[in-house]
Amino acid sequence: MKLDQVLKNIQVIQQIGHTDIELTGINSDSRRIESGHLFVAVRGTQTDGHSYIPTAVEKGAAAILCEELPAQLSENVTYIQVKDTEDAIGKAATAFYGDPTSKLELVGVTGTNGKTTIATLLYNTFRYFGYKVGLLSTVCNYIDDEAVPATHTTPDPISLNELLGRMADAGCKYVFMEVSSHAIAQKRISGLRFAGGIFTNLTRDHLDYHKTVENYLKAKKKFFDDLPKDAFALTNADDKNGMVMLQNTKAKTYNYSLRSLCDFKGRILEAHFEGMLLNFNDKELAVQFIGKFNASNLLAVFGAACLLGKKEEDVLVALSTLHPVAGRFDSLRSPNGYTAIVDYAHTPDALVNVLDSIQEILEGKGKIITVVGAGGNRDKGKRPIMAQESVKRSDRVIITSDNPRNEEPQDIINDMLAGLNTDERRNVITIIDRKEAIRTACMLAQPGDVVLVAGKGHENYQEIKGVKHHFDDKEILREFFGN
């Protein structure tokens, strides 16, 4: 594709050289530049891409897109100066890969919790209807039935547009995508056209990056502010920030709720560890999911599918066939008569949701033993809160390692313990070794009890001192159960 076509939606401040040149690729990583590529110099949180312009030129870049022109210009290289390369890279990638979202119905899901579940269930629902569908999620990306490993909740703009282009070429009609706050703030979705957006909820998370809850909220809201007028914006009216998301959107607005009259209204009729009986818009359905938070997630899926043109009755039938997403309230039955649940809950609110759901089903007839930790090099402020919520809603808590990354596991545990008073600490055990912590929880459990292993969910590794070691909570539990 010609450079001038790639630049068609980008406001150029200054151009040096010709734009009537053929590009062979586009990249923001100088290590991946090949002959004929466009190199985009982005100012990242760790390094400034402008420092790598000479390397990109040396490796054969045909053109440079930057905010600041280098002191030395090379012959036969075109330089394009723009105000914001973080914004421009998405638009350039969209153009280079043939504007894939003009050929797809792209729906984005944003919020603190529930993104993976809602996006994945929408993907499975529309595949049930017989469509070719794409999925961009934390767990795995899919081009219809082809799995593409995921490295981030939302990929970088170039990888994102390349994947969307492959989805369009494969004949996908719909794509469902998790949209993280980082991706919105870093303009990774710039240039994409969304057919709809879904808001799940907003609680404390990622403050290591956003610094304040207000900044975190603004990042989520910007996604809805930027939706086009022919898109839909579906929000969770049960969340205090739900209606905030719709304040400035041009999209058509809708809401869903388990508590009040809404466009999509739901309630739980029955709940047990095998599933729930629900009522959505005055129609009953049985599902293989557990917990109020999952009822809310399913209601969002129901609403979005209806807004994409499906009949309510057909959507309800599809929902009744779905299975829980890996690592989300994933239950295993012990031969000794207790239940173990693996869940990705790694925020205070997610822990509250899971533990409240377990309490509702147990109705005081069994104890809850919670294994929980907190990730290293992330928001430290949530650590004592996670410990508080775990102790408040459990009979016994074992605080252990999650992904300590480059921090000392004991320091993270100490941060969590700081949120507890002397009485609360009496029901807490600290075990750094996560496998040993899970083993201890299983040894403490009696028939009818529930062991919650929280924090890692679908992840099959533990990151320690920058190295990822294989570790799977479900595998450990199965090993203890002897199956």
Q: Which residue ranges make up the annotated binding site?
A: 30, 111-117, 153-154, 180, 186, 188, 378, 402-405, 455, 459
Burial class (CB in 10 A: 0-12, 13-18, 19+), 228: exposed
Where is the binding site for meso-2,6-diaminopimelate, in residues?
378, 402-405, 455, 459
Handedness of CA 320, 322, 325, 331 (dihedral sign): positive
**Which residues touch 361 (CB under 8 Å, ≥6 apart)?**
271, 272, 273, 290
First to last CA, the chain: 54
Residue type, 206: H
The tokens of 166 are what?
A: 């492959």
Q: Does an H or E element contain 468, and which? A: strand 467-470
Rounded Cα gap, residues 375 and 456, in angstroms: 9
Q: Name the one residue in this structure whose structure tokens are 């990888």.
A: 159
* DSSP-derived 3-state class of residue 284: strand
DSSP conformational letter for 246: G
Q: Does an H or E element contain 3, and which? A: helix 3-6
CB atoms within 10 A of CB 346: 23
Where is the binding site for ATP, in residues?
111-117
Q: What is the DSSP string of 112-165?
A: SSSHHHHHHHHHHHHHHTT--EEEE-SSEEEETTEEEE-SSSS--HHHHHHHHH
Buried-exposed string 273-283: b where 16+ CB fall within 10 A, e elsewhere: eebbebebbee
143 forms bridges with which residues in the sheet? 134, 146
Rounded Cα gap, residues 115 and 109, in angstroms: 6
Complete edge-to-edge strand list for the sheet that includes strand 63-66: 14-16, 78-81, 63-66, 37-40, 25-27
Q: Name the one residue in this structure whose structure tokens are 């100012």.
A: 43
Rounded Cα gap, residues 307 and 75, in angstroms: 53
Rounded Cα gap, residues 286 and 316, in angstroms: 9
Alpha helices, DSSP H, located in 363-433: 382-393, 409-417, 422-425
* DSSP-derived 3-state class of residue 10: coil
